[in-house]
A and B are shown apart, each in its own frame.
Chain A
């Protein structure tokens, strides 16, 4: 009995240590740039929750950069608190609760898997505005809930053009995490982009069933190299492993989420990188002004090239991309800024020949959220139930 008590104490110590560790990593560096006591009413506490590390050279670092920009740009009107490495389970609810205890009135839940927790939390806390990054709510929005995202597939398609223009083997590799609608749209856009410059280009897909599992990412690269793939892209949260593996093999990479050209300047073609600060600031402004409910952010908001507010931008070009290829990609980007244009302009066919987007039609953001097939030219299948 005595021994078991000691074990229990040891366990509690461990739990406490872990909690401390988590706190010190989650508490923001410069969280309190304002003095809430003097500015009661005019300072809004804003929380950002991230699933991974703020230094992942990927999705989470982009969110972290956005949060830092908000803090810098909005000055004393906001107090920013952040939490990173919060798993997609009940932990996110606890984190949101903790943020509310610290006075948070706006919470940005930025990982895809947070969706149901964020929605439930919004319903339970009508006085807190909860935003989910990347989700799509098919139904009625609570007055204090919103989702936002960018038409990621357009810049991803531009990346696909770079890949198609550079490949020697006509085999491209795409390493993804989960077969969610966003990812399916990205894979399809990548292949369609590649076909614009190289009709023979094929995209081989491998999934890892994790947003960031370095071993599986490396294995995916190795397996794709064996197929003769010479240009890689990905939809993972962390980019480093795939970029490093591609570098070791001397192949090319199209990035996603974050401009990581510095990791491999010779092999980086281009990519897409999130610039979240503008939309974060607009949403915070809407909440502060009392115009959030019923407004465009109290719905599924999406930025795009066509509307000039796509939070996902084309990343820098690497040294190996010729001026000619850059010009072609930039011309396509310019074309996409015309209203009603998209990489998903029909006719587009699924692998099995069925029509995904009819001739003359352009898929809307809502349409892409129900995409469930890979387009012709993609090699591989989606995980099925």
Chain B
């Protein structure tokens, strides 16, 4: 197999685990709320996914549970930020701390227990494309869902009426209010749905890829998701590029080593972060930023 195919095979599942939280963060931020609790929602999703899969034997119930757990984390954050006007950054970190603590306690008995990960479903024809076919089209269904999710989200926020309302909430909440919608409700919904997607990312990690739970298994990928959204300047296509780039760079480390190629390991470890930031900054030099206007207020010290 060629090395590009090897990197793709290794990278795609992990990229998807990052893509879902990034898309969720995008939805949340487009409504005007930054959610640093994304990391916590991923952990909650990863744990509840494994727990429910072990309890019921059905990984799809596990996926469902991860969505619910992620949404619960989001609702907590949204409740604090939207209804209680808490500081967004502080509240997000609180949710993360909380999820980290709770998942490591509740997950303790599950450490070391294994489940069969979601099986790959080979798509006939497409999977036979030389080189990239098996990498792209012999994956689990959550990966395929991610292929559809990006254009769907892009279409939603660009061309639909609810998408417009979402964006308007992020830009000028007062205008949304004047037009008869409730910015608070929209933000609550956006953060909750976004966080549910973060939970789904956690499920892709725990039941889609590795088939077990281990403490703090997200290793900061939730924060990477937040960074990807910002560096991608709030564009779904940018988020797509950023997530796959990060996942690929992460995989390069393993593939390069397995091929016996001598490269400085510490450089390889830094590569995902460096390459993602550099490429997204260059890419975002073209076109305008989609930074929601109210984000500036939310994140500034002057509010």
Contacts and interface: CB of A to CB of B under 8 A. Distances in A.
Partners in one complex: yes
Interface of A: 3-4, 6-8, 10-11, 13-15, 17-18, 20-22, 24-25, 52-58, 61, 85, 173, 179, 204-210, 212-220, 222-224, 226-227, 229, 238-241, 243-245, 247-248, 260, 263, 379-385
A213 B219 contact: yes
B81 to A, nearest CB: 11
B232 interface: no
Contacts of A85: 104, 215
A6 B221 CA distance: 28
A54 B102 CA distance: 16
8 contacts: A6-B86, A14-B97, A53-B104, A54-B111, A222-B251, A223-B258, A240-B114, A243-B114
Given A18-B97, A380-B257, A214 B214 contact: yes
A13 B111 contact: no
Contacts of B90: 7-8, 10-11
> What 7 A-B pairs are tightest by C-beta distance, nearest first?
A383-B265, A21-B101, A57-B112, A7-B90, A55-B111, A7-B87, A223-B258
Quick one: which of A24, A226, A244 has the most chain B CB within 10 A?
A226
Interface stretch (B6-14, B155-163, B166-174, B281-289): B6-14
A383 to B, nearest CB: 3
Instruction: Determine the main DSSP class of B at the interface with A.
Output: helix
Nearest to B11: A219
B89 to A, nearest CB: 8
B259 A207 contact: no
Nearest to B115: A244
Contact of B112 (A3, A4, A10, A61): A61
Given A219-B250, A381-B257, 18 more contacts: A10-B86, A21-B101, A21-B102, A54-B108, A56-B112, A58-B112, A179-B265, A204-B258, A212-B215, A215-B209, A215-B210, A218-B13, A218-B209, A219-B14, A219-B253, A223-B254, A240-B111, A383-B266
A14 B94 contact: yes
A214 B117 contact: no
A248 B11 CA distance: 17
A364 B133 CA distance: 51
A310 to B, nearest CB: 24
B211 interface: yes
Contacts of A229: 258
A361 to B, nearest CB: 29
A76 B283 CA distance: 67
Given A17-B98, A218-B209, A207 B257 contact: yes
Interface in B198-216: 205-206, 209-212, 214-215
Nearest to A20: B101
Interface in B1-50: 1, 6, 9-11, 13-14, 17
